[in-house]
Amino acid sequence: MRTFLRYIVVEAGNSERKGAERKLYDRILKYTGVFSSVQGVAMIVSAVLAKVKSCMIGPAGFGIIENVNRTTEIVRNATNLGIQTVAVPRISVSADLPDNKQLSELILVTRSWALLTAIAGMVICIILAPILGRWAFNDAEYAFDFTLMSLSVAASSVTGGEIAILRGVGQMRNVALSQLFANIVSLCISFPLYWFFRLDGIIPALVLSAVGTMTVTCFYSFRLHPYKVRPFSLTVLGKGLDMIGFGVLMTVTAFLGAWAWSVIAKFLTVQGGEELTGSYSAGYMLVTYLTTLLLSVSDSEYYPRLSAVGDDLVQAHKLMNSQSLAMCMLAAPIVNIFMIAVPILVMVFLEYEKFQMSIAFAQMASIGLLFKAVYQPIAFLVLARYDSKIYMFQETICYILLVISVMCGYKLAGTIGLGLSFAVWELSYLLLVLIVGKIRYGFVMSRQLVMNFLIQSLAVMLAAAGILLGPGRGFLISVPMCIFSIVFSLRFFYTHTSFLPSFFSKVFRK
């Protein structure tokens, strides 16, 4: 009798645990679907803009944009204090409290710091404009262009503050919609400028697009929380000093990141001119679309949720393992499909003849997305716990590895090596995150995550090998691997969610 009762208790516990697990994976699928659908539309809009740019300004124009953006990003990341990230945990915790006064106070603090950093970034960009022009293009005549880009720096700081507020209070739908309409506004602004002015329209298009993005984001944020700001009040600013303290370290590492990307753009320009830089930029843009499509849910929905349980490492570890597993099973089939479809995407969204070099790069670089999908949910714990020293160490190593990987990859194997270098970099970062997670927080990947990750990694690697063999024989490897990866992931989500079985039953019933 006692054995029977014990069996009932154990089974009840297992059933309850499985029910909680199903709810968790249902939630991940739900928000991934919501964000991916909106991001998918936004991606189409961005792809149309990319087509416009490829036709009107070509690879040289992409190279100029890459150099300008990466150089301006140095100032942007050096002055925004990481507010878009560091404000989210505090706001998300306050949003769950019954006292709305504390939330309103935090929003005031966030907006005040965001406006102050916007002013500082704008002034610094204007002062450094001649130096930035010489760094990016070896020509001080570009100083006026970087003076105009100071407006973009200021707008991005304000936008970051408002996005942090929307994410912190759980307004994921508004975050996604603001990004969608910001892309539409950018298309409407950029198209006539590129049409009439070609290369001369690049800087005005970048500046006005940044201002347009800020306007759209503020529209969604101001509707929920009317705009109040006190950027020169020491009392208000003082309430955010603990948050900004971590933000300062994030700024240092973001500066290192911007410097690393700028060094890469400059390195490629020296090696192959603006044509090579433009081809790399276009290929990386396609990979970025894919990354945003898949991982936007982690950044917008998962990070605030992890922040709420960050002090409870047991709960945090469970959440991290579940999120990484779900992201792994979503990423692998998408990466395999993307690698096969890249030539078609280049043909549709760019100009095939001008951007052929982008194809091999994008195919190989996309492998890294699988590794990123696994490590990102784990790496967020450092941010959720405001662990500044670990964050600083981790990110510094990360960017050193990035520069070394890219330079060695291109020198050894040209465009294909350049793409593979990004995959190697993401894999190296995954290993670094796991080592740090184990030593600092006692985090260990679950057995299920390890097994599924190894299986999907093998499928992706074999598909990539088939891609390198070229059409014909290569497809005999890459297409079956792609089908296997899709079926394997569908089987996983069918077993671990209630959503997918319900969906299939409705479809087949019809």
List pLDDT tens digits, range 345-369: 888 777 667 777 788 888 898 999 8
Q: How far apart are CA 421 and CA 278, in angstroms?
A: 18
- pLDDT band at residue 4 under the 50/70/90 scheme: very low
Are residues 216 and 323 located together in one domain of the fold?
no
Tokens of 207: 């500046």
Q: How far apart are CA 50 and CA 362, in angstroms?
A: 15
pLDDT single digits (tens) 269-309: 777 776 777 777 777 777 876 776 677 656 666 777 787 67
Q: How far apart are CA 186 and CA 205, in angstroms?
A: 8
Cα–Cα nearest to 27, from 234, 174, 207, 170: 170
464 vs 234 pLDDT, higher one:
464
What's the start-to-end Cα distance of the chain, in Å?
Answer: 47
- Side-chain-side CA neighbours of 248 within 13 Å: the count stands at 6
Are residues 196 and 324 located together in one domain of the fold?
no
The separation between CA 471 and the C-alpha centre of its own chain, rounded to angstroms, equals 31
Domain boundary among 210, 226, 249: 249
Q: Where are the alpha helices (DSSP H) in 57-201?
A: 58-79, 83-95, 100-137, 143-168, 172-197
CB 459 within 8 A of CB 448: no
CB atoms inside a 10 Å sphere around CB 222: 12
Are residues 70 and 190 located together in one domain of the fold?
yes
pLDDT at 234: 82
Residue 344 lies in a domain: yes
Residue 221 lies in a domain: yes
Are residues 234 and 353 located together in one domain of the fold?
no
Are residues 132 and 200 located together in one domain of the fold?
yes
Are residues 361 and 481 located together in one domain of the fold?
yes
Range among 9-18, 123-132, 247-256 with highest mean pLDDT value? 123-132
Percent of the chain at pLDDT exceeding 70 = 85
Are residues 62 and 176 located together in one domain of the fold?
yes
Domain boundary among 213, 230, 249: 249
Are residues 321 and 244 located together in one domain of the fold?
no
Residue 124 lies in a domain: yes
Name the residue range of residue 135's domain. Answer: 38-249
Are residues 331 and 245 located together in one domain of the fold?
no
Are residues 189 and 325 located together in one domain of the fold?
no
pLDDT single digits (tens) 197-233: 888 888 899 999 999 999 999 999 998 888 888 888 8
Q: What is the mean pLDDT of residues 127-134?
A: 87
| Tokens 């070509």, residue located | 58
Residue 119 lies in a domain: yes
Q: How far apart are CA 195 and CA 216, in angstroms?
A: 24
pLDDT single digits (tens) 103-115: 888 889 899 999 9
- Biggest alpha carbon–alpha carbon distance for the chain: 88
Q: What is the mean pLDDT of residues 111-137?
A: 89
CB 187 within 8 A of CB 45: yes
Q: How far apart are CA 283 and CA 361, in angstroms?
A: 6
Q: How many residues appear in the chain?
A: 510
Residue 469 lies in a domain: yes
- pLDDT band at residue 10 under the 50/70/90 scheme: very low
Residue 443, Ramachandran bin (φ over 0: left; ψ between -120 and 50: alpha; else beta): beta
pLDDT single digits (tens) 73-100: 878 877 888 788 778 777 877 766 666 7
Using a cut of 0.95, tell me whether the model's pTM lies above it: no
Whether the predicted pLDDT of 159 surpasses 60 = yes
Residue 257 lies in a domain: no
Count how many domains the chain has: 2
Are residues 233 and 333 located together in one domain of the fold?
no
Helix, strand, coil % over all residues of the chain, rounded to 5: 90, 0, 10
Residue 509 lies in a domain: no
Amino acid at 457: S
Residue 1 lies in a domain: no
pLDDT at 11: 39
Are residues 211 and 355 located together in one domain of the fold?
no
Weakest mean pLDDT among 51-65, 202-216, 256-270, 414-428:
51-65
